[in-house]
Structure 1
């Protein structure tokens, strides 16, 4: 148990993962922990959103009319657009994680599910703009 066999691949990893004692592991969050985690995910989403609003990558003009200038501008634009997509994807992921935790908290409290998007807008208005990443 706990030993990887060379070349055995995923089967050995699965065997290790499933080789625990007969007791099932578990974890639990209390209400304060859930609220804290929701807040942290929303803060992270705010950072990504702030970065998206501050930068406008992907619109580099070639410095010259030569072939090399055009290629460098094209590469810079491609990289900038990929970075913007990365920021947008991580913003959405952060909001989704906050929403999952909010749903869990609402279920625990026995109340109707609330949207973290509404909660997040209220928080930003109260505290002002957040610094980005």
Structure 2
């Protein structure tokens, strides 16, 4: 089957970006990352704050899911026969694995939020250094 001209297809030479209202990138809402001249990206302050909050919110969701997973860890068999007890043991083991996975994901999200907060701190320090430099030169912001 030959795709027609209207079907979407991946083209590595095409620039993929979401259109902005009136062609103006909005601060925050993940904005458009600006190349920092080296490897990586540079975001404005609003975007860094939003990213940190989003990662923390996601971590909070994983924490809430962990609270619910304790029900799985405490599962009991419906009867006293071997099959019920064996099934409950497997369910509890699955719950333990779920708890471990959710804890790891929460930890990862907290670490990502911390990275964005650290970037905010670095950005504030750089702005203060530039402000001091301008003040020493007798200029103004």
- TM-score category by the smaller chain? 0.5 to 0.7
Distance 1:26 1:100 in 2: 13
Residue 28 of structure 1 corresponds to 42
Q: CA deviation at 1:25?
A: 5.7
Cα gap change, 1:89 to 1:25, in 2 (>3 Å): closer
Residue 89 of structure 1 corresponds to 104
Q: CA deviation at 1:83?
A: 1.1
Cα gap change, 1:82 to 1:29, in 2 (>3 Å): same
Distance 2:40 2:65 in 1: 37
Distance 1:41 1:34 in 2: 11
Residue 124 of structure 1 corresponds to none
Structure index of larger Rg = 2
Per the normalisation by structure 1, the TM-score is 0.59
* Aligned mate of 2:93, from 78, 81, 88: 78
Residue 66 of structure 2 corresponds to 52
Q: Which has the higher contact order (CA 8 A, sep 6+)?
A: 1
Q: CA deviation at 1:42?
A: 0.8
Cα gap change, 1:110 to 1:24, in 2 (>3 Å): closer
| Aligned pairs (5 A) from 1:1-133 | 26-56=40-70, 57-110=72-125
Moved more, 47-56 or 75-84: 47-56
1:66-123 per-residue CA deviation (whole Å, 9 max, x = no partner) reads 2211211111111111111111111111101100111111011119xxxxxxxxxxxx
Matched positions, count: 90
Cα gap change, 1:42 to 1:24, in 2 (>3 Å): closer
SS at match of 1:110: helix
